Structure 1
Amino acid sequence: MAKVVQITAENFETEVAQASETRAVAVLFSSAEYPDCAPYSQLLGQLSTSMDFTLGVVSCDERENMQLIQAFRVRSVPEVHIVEKGQIADVIQGVLPEADLKKRLEKFFVSDEARFQAALEDAIAQKNFDQALPMLDEALAKTPDDKKLQLLWAKASLGMGDTEKAKSVLAKFTEADDQYREAKSLLELLDFHAEAAKKDVQGKEAIVYHEACKLACAEDFESALQAFLNLYVESPEWNDGAAKKAMLTLFGVLGPKHELTWKYRAKLNTMMFI
């Protein structure tokens, strides 16, 4: 559990050395005499909460802490030492921008929430949708407004071929949501995801179309457009002109000014009027 503790020689063994055997501890050496220390300490305190780790703060202004300062060989403040299993695993010297600091800390501290989400993302990436969905249902029952979980739920539903359920969730995302762009892309590519989720596709044209849809879902749009174009050249009337319709859909996704729209619209027009 996240906490901020003032570290002294008396509690160092318990709060840092012993605690680091089960989970790394961040130890900040700071001084009230240096203006950078106070805001940096506040930032680290916030990160300890969001990333769920213990932050031990050693005041370099207290003479009784000199033994700790010397033992850690502190050269300047602020200075952060990551203690893992009783050993110094990393030293962060000076003030880092928040993004860089967080990146360094993420090597050692990952919240339970982040671990859970990573497990979900791995399950979806490996197409274990039937494993991911029950986990997502349970998580959303606790936090129904969590947009990250909603997006993952929509992806898992698409993987299971349930496009209507996915659509109902994706349509609720707004521009104010951090996940809006990805949700909008999934919504626009809904039919491609439904096709990509199909199993045991039969027939030459159907297989080509299926693979092209998978490319579109992976946002490899140029490869997808070329595959659809090849299918259109070989079988323009197949499945009521499905290849041509797919290309027009991708033109809409990319937008009229995108270079791939210009390039492949010209190619499609050439093939249509030969």
Structure 2
Amino acid sequence: MSIIDPRTGNPLTAEQENTSNEEATTAHRSVTPEEVIIELNAGNIQQVLEASMQVPVLLGCHSPSNASDTTLLMMLEKLAVEYAGAFLLGKLDIEANPEIAGQLGVRSTPDVKLVSQGGLVDSIQGALPEKEVREWLNRYFPATGDAPPSPEDQAEEALAAGDAAGAREIYQTLIGQYPEHYAYQIGLARALVAEKRGDEARSVLDNLPPEERDAAPARGVRASIEFSEQALSVEEIASLGDRNDSEARYQRALRHVADSQYETGLEGLLALMKDDRAYNEDAARKTLLQVFDALGADHPLTVTYRRKLFALLY
């Protein structure tokens, strides 16, 4: 079902991101919370559903006694103001309004339903993190041009900029809000590795459920810990001087990987494997596979160097 913008009669979907800056500015005027957020009850629910004929409505069904519900609702309130009237947010306390919750088919909370033209368009359940909620909203509404980066994006930007402590603090906050979203704990472990706190990172990974602990993302962080622990120090690498034997080449490549200079490290490992496959019981190939684990199967470098490894082997 298409969501129709009552101002234009056009489908209200992410394709509207292609509008001009001037149109985007007009569409995303400033609003107050009072203009876009409504407390739902038996006295106004019908009126709000009828309003969905004119503007889409998000029904935020929550239980005040549930902390994760409260976290998600606060996020939706922030987003309702940020999206500046693209949709209304109706907050439904299911404890105070069990009959309405039953009529809407709410079985557990948090439950967010998107209603347009009087009908249900889509819904999401569970305490989802902000990045996932934004991605869901952006299927139907044009993202605001001045939207701030999500906390997840802020953490990744901090890591890329070398601010591991800043990334760690963001992930710690996210873990407090979403303790069962294990990707944040893996992100925390990555930040700890970058801070050279490998033992703490390993402890975070050890406390994950078995299916998460043994999956590729966690294995990748473990590989990063091992790289940092196995690699020679910068001073020790410098002391190798002009040595070009297999051991020196391997140690330089490992140091590059430990310093996140992955492409240089992968290139060095591949070259060593080509020239001296037997070195240290095939250490270059084994380390290449560890780096692929650390980067993840979809990383461009993994894709490129896995192909090069295959070509070398076969």
TM-score (norm 1): 0.48
Q: Work out which of the two has the higher radius of gyration on C-alpha atoms and give 1 or 2.
A: 1
TM-score (norm 2): 0.43
